[in-house]
Every structure is written in structure tokens, then in C-alpha cells.
Structure 1
Amino acid sequence: MKRLMQACYLLLFFYMAACSDPTVGSKNRPFTMYFVPAIDARTISVTTDKVVDYVAKYVSQALYNKPTGFYVKGSIPSSYIAIVEAFGTQRADFAIFNTFGYILAKDVKKYPVEAILTVEREKGKRSYHSQILVRADSNIKTLQDLNGKRFAFSDPASTSGYIVPHNMLTKAGVKLKSHVFAQKHDNVVAMIYQKQVDAGATFYDNPIVKTINGKKVRVLRDARARVLTQFPDVEKKIKILKISQGIPNEPWMIRSNLYKDKEKNKKVKKLVKQALLEFQKSKEGYKALKALYDMNRLVEVKDSVYDDIRKMILSTKLDLEGTLKKKDKKIKKK
């Protein structure tokens, strides 16, 4: 009887060992990086492969003194909410997501994620804004004048095209007659220009002055710039009614509980961050990251950078998870 019990315990031990989760970074459980599409799926797939390969080799070299051993897999999601939930079920280890998605994962769902990097799209500038646009020939002079008006937001999951401007309107006590989601920022501009709506919300970046062929030229960089070919007089026809507070650029986030071993957890997170920072220093790396996210460079970031936008998002009356699911429905229709 005693031998039988010992055999049973031994079998149970091997069963539990076989059923335990494989180590993150192993062949059976690669370190999984999620890349939210900012360009078409074919282009992003080719480009992300370069990022994945570099991270795998860099971390492998640091851990095992050889270019293999730490396995990395790239994933391009079809569902935005799936990225958030993948962190909750520990199937995602890293993601490049928008600010809204990060706040939802970390502060609403309480999943173990942390921002480690963000992007600069011009030297020293790590934020952008939301803007509310109206036709220049309208009688809309203040936010309150938007009461009873038709409004276009860009996208349900857009921080600058929906979350922030919705909060601005709510704080101003504005009650719209109706609103639509135009899906893209340039569509919002076109709808205002063509008088399909009275006002709308898009991203905003300051105009800059560039020297082109020896001449200084002012370059428009907010959403109106995207329709200049179609509507050359768009800057005269459509004016800015209100610009929001600064919105931190999107976080590159990592799962904070990759391993139970605290030292290994800390080391691998640091190595992944270092790998990406090193990758951008090469010509190929810079080109790949520029193609993926229209960025100038990657920089380290602390979670506290997102405190102000976090407070704003968490104070909104919106159903945050439901808002992201609206985005999912749009993606699946494509």
C-alpha cells in the first residue's frame, strides 16, 4: 500500500510538471509582442519581423552568450480588446498600444502592465493634442455654441479623436444634436468642410517651418494637412475652436510579472527595453521603426507621465471597455 501511494505521488508530480506553464521566452512559450497596426497588415508583418528577430538575438546573447535561446514571437491583432485581455491571461508580454488602451489595461482592468518606452516624433516632443474644428464662416465661437450641433468624432478608441474631446464637451456642458464616428481624422475634416457636420475632433500638432529649396515654408501638421490635396484652402475654410491639454505619446508596454523569480523578471524587462533602444540606432532599425509608427526616436518613459491623462480618462462617464469594443467591431468589418 505504501509503495502504491509513493507511485501515485510520483505520477502526480510528473503530471503537475507536465501541465505547468512553459517559461516565457522558451520554444514552447515565446516572448509575445503585439503590434497594433498603424499601416497596412502586409507592411507591418514584414517590418515587425525585423524587430522580433533583433530582440530575440539581443536578449539571447545577454542571457546565454549566443544568438539563440530566447524565443520571441510577433502578433498583429485583429481585435483591440483582445490585446488588453491577453495581458490579463498572460498570453501577451509586450505591446505597442495607444494611451487609452494602456489606461484601460492598467487602471481599469488592473492587469500587470507597465510603460517602458514611448516615442518622439520630433526632437524633445513627446506629446500631442486634440483639437475641435469648425468652419471659419460659422457662428460657432465657443464650446457652448456647439449645443444642438452635429459633431464628428474620428474613432471610438482614439484618445485625441474621441476620449479627450468628449471630456472637453462634457465639462463645458455641451449637448450635441447628434454625433458620428468618421473612422479617420481626415474624414472628420472633410465632413466639416463639406458641411455634413458642424464641428469635429481630430489630433493636433504645431505647424513647423522647414527650408525647402532654399525657402522657408510653413508646414501644417494637424489633421487638416491630410486633405490639402483635396481641399487646398482647408486651413482658411476650417478653423480651430479649441486645443486640448497635452496627451502623452503612446506607451510601449511590457507585462510586469513575466517570471516569479524577481531578479530574472527585472533583468529580462531591462534587456527587452535595451534591445529596442539599440535597434533604433542602426540604419535598418531606424527605418523599420519609422515605417511602423512614424517616429523620430524611442525614449524611456515612466508611468507617472500618464498621470494627468489617466485622471481625465478615469473621470469620464464613458464605458471605457465598451468604447474599445466599438473599435473592434470596426476592425472586424475591414
Structure 2
Amino acid sequence: MKLLTTTALVAITATAAAAEGWKDDYQVLKFGILSSENEKDRLMRNEPLRGYLEETLGVEVEIFTAGNYDGVIQALSANQIEIARLGSSAYAAAFTATDGGVVPTLTTQKMDGTTGYYSIVVSRCDSGIKNLEDAKGKVHAFADPDSTSGYAVPYFNMVTREGFKPEDYFGTVTFSGSHEAGVTGVVNGTFDTAATYQNNAVDGIFQRMEEKGMIEPGQVCTIWESPEITSGPWTFRKNLPEALIEDVTAAIEEFPTADLEGYKLYSSWTVEDPNPDTGFVRVNAERYNWIVDMRAWIKEQRRSGS
């Protein structure tokens, strides 16, 4: 019995050491964030999380940014970063690029328990464009080819639900490069309409731009909204140690309660939002299979020219 107890103790000690062992090989963790807003604001909003993870995990944590979505996806695929907060479509792109070599673990949950948001199309309120019918023949901007709400979902819905192919329907179709750039282009008259996202009527890209003083309130109006989109996941490389994935996932999961003020900055919390982000919930790859299939459909449409 004594031998069994000693053996069990050794096994437990070895397991604990193995769990901590990933830190020997990963003394620096890098997480990527997408280019939905300008780099200064991206870094500012994510700094509380970076600092919290560094202190909690006991390793150096760095934020990785790129000029477009594909830069973060390629960094994840090339083992240059360990983790990325991706939109659903960007996750699907990473899943495809790595032949399934990524693991989604968490997504954002709101106060009412929902885990989704919406793609919208916006125009200047004074443009006379009140719906997609009014936008026919106009200049339309999608955000980025790897954006869920800024490209994949609106494109898919325009073809399958609205009954038109954007390239044939609009006078010009282009990519703005980011959600903020699309909204700015609408305000400045570069684009007649642009695809972006919002969580609800008071919380989205153009509403945040109004709050930050980037655009004047009342200039931008929503002319179309998609069905609800599943929020994108925190995504890890599958070739990382399981203990690393679990430890980092658990730390992110606890961030909203461990540092409430930091989480409010990270999540762009405002007192006016009736349904703010409140934390994270666990997800798996199955949740995003429809997004992978949608991207494959879009790719086939491009290839066939139909």
C-alpha cells in the first residue's frame, strides 16, 4: 500500500510538472488580432488582456497585428503566433489553410446569453439610399476577403437570399481594407455603401467611431441587416501542448471577472449598451462548420464565374 501511495504521488507530481512544462518551450506567447479598427485603438483595447495574461501565466505575452486579416491567418498557419482572436470567416480560412490544424476554444457571450452579431450594410443618411434596391448600380465596399461580417455573410446572403450577385448588381465592388475604412469611405463619399457589423442598434463599428469622434453622429444609417452570425473564436494552433491551450483558455475565460475594468475597455463597454459583452463561453470546431462550408461555396462561385 505504501508503494502504491508513493507511486501515485510520483505520478501526480509528474503530471503537474508536465502541465507546467510548456512554459519552458513557450516563454513568449503571441496572440493575433484582426484589423477591424485602426492599429492604435486595437492595441489600446487589447493591452489590459495582454497584461493580465502575462501576469497570470507567468510568461511574456505579445500582441501581433497585421494590415489585413490574411496577415494574422498566415502568421497562425506559419507557426509565427500561437493564438488569434478571429472572426468566424477568418477562423474558417485558418482551418482550411492548415487542413484543420487549429482549435477554437472560446467565443464572446452577451448579457442576454447570446453569442452572435450581425452583418450590416450602411450608407450616408442623406444619400437617398434607404435599401439595397436603391444601391443598385452604386459603388459598394466589402471590408476584407477574410471578414465574416464584412464580406462572407453579406455576399452569401446577397446571392442566396436577396437574389443578386454583387459584381453584377452594383456599379463597382471593391474592398476597403477594414471596417473603419469602409465606414469612413461612406462618410467621405468614396463608397455609396459598405458592409460592416454591429451587435445591436447602439453598438457596432460606426457607433464606436461616433463615440471616438472619428465621424459625426447621424451621418451613417443601416440599410440592410443579416441573420445572426455566430461570434468568432479564440483560436489556437493544434500543434501546441494541450496544457498550454487549456491554461491560456482558462485564463482568458476568467479575464472578465479577474479584471472587470480591463475587460470593459477590451470589450468597448458603454453604459448605453442594453446588451453588453459579459464574458466567454467554450466552443468547438463543429460550431463553425457552416462557416467553412459557406467559404467553400463562395470560392466555388468565384471559380465558376457563376
Specify if TM > 0.5.
Answer: yes
Match of 1:204 among 198, 216, 221: 198
Question: How large is the Cα RMSD of the aligned pairs?
Answer: 3.5
SS in structure 1 opposite 2:24? coil
How far, CA to CA, are the matches of 2:127 and 2:66 in structure 1? 40
User: Under a length normalisation based on structure 1, what TM-score does the superposition of the two structures give?
Assistant: 0.64
The answer on whether the counterparts of 1:189 and 1:227 sit within 8 Å (CA) in structure 2 is: no
The answer on whether the counterparts of 2:118 and 2:226 sit within 8 Å (CA) in structure 1 is: yes
Return 139-148 or 307-316, whichever deviates more: 139-148
The alpha carbon displacement at 1:301 in A equals 1.6
Match of 1:274 among 242, 247, 250: 250
2:99 alignment partner in structure 1: 110
Code of the residue aligned with 2:238 in structure 1: it is S
Query: Any idea what the Cα deviations from partners look like across 1:258-315, whole Å, max 9, x if unmatched?
Result: 24xxxxx3x4433332232234322xx2333332343431221222222333322221
The answer on whether the counterparts of 1:103 and 1:310 sit within 8 Å (CA) in structure 2 is: yes
How far, CA to CA, are the matches of 2:118 and 2:139 in structure 1? 22
SS in structure 1 opposite 2:254? helix
Superposition pairs of residues 62-211 of structure 1, within 5 angstroms: 71=59, 73-78=61-66, 80-134=69-123, 143=132, 146-171=135-160, 172-174=164-166, 175=168, 176-189=170-183, 191-192=185-186, 195-207=189-201
Match of 2:52 among 50, 53, 78: 50
Match of 1:307 among 289, 302, 306: 289
Match of 2:261 among 281, 287, 305: 287
Gaps of 5+ in 1: 1-22, 57-70, 208-219, 260-264, 321-334
SS in structure 2 opposite 1:296? strand
How far, CA to CA, are the matches of 1:191 and 1:42 in structure 2? 23
Return 196-205 or 178-187, whichever deviates more: 178-187
SS in structure 1 opposite 2:154? helix
How far, CA to CA, are the matches of 2:191 and 2:108 in structure 1? 33
How far, CA to CA, are the matches of 1:147 and 1:32 in structure 2? 47
The alpha carbon displacement at 1:118 in A equals 1.0
1:32 alignment partner in structure 2: 29
**Which is greater in Rg?**
1
TM-aligned CA distance change 1:317 to 1:81, over 3 Å? closer
Gaps of 5+ in 2: 1-19, 269-276
The answer on whether the counterparts of 1:24 and 1:30 sit within 8 Å (CA) in structure 2 is: no
User: Under a length normalisation based on structure 2, what TM-score does the superposition of the two structures give?
Assistant: 0.69
How far, CA to CA, are the matches of 1:42 and 1:308 in structure 2? 31
TM-aligned CA distance change 1:123 to 1:182, over 3 Å? same
The answer on whether the counterparts of 1:45 and 1:76 sit within 8 Å (CA) in structure 2 is: no
1:257 alignment partner in structure 2: 239
How far, CA to CA, are the matches of 2:180 and 2:86 in structure 1? 21
Aligned residues: 261
The answer on whether the counterparts of 1:140 and 1:146 sit within 8 Å (CA) in structure 2 is: yes
SS in structure 1 opposite 2:157? helix
The alpha carbon displacement at 1:248 in A equals 1.6
SS in structure 2 opposite 1:48? helix
How far, CA to CA, are the matches of 2:60 and 2:179 in structure 1? 34
How far, CA to CA, are the matches of 1:222 and 1:90 in structure 2? 32
Code of the residue aligned with 2:197 in structure 1: it is F
SS in structure 2 opposite 1:280? helix
TM-aligned CA distance change 1:52 to 1:111, over 3 Å? farther
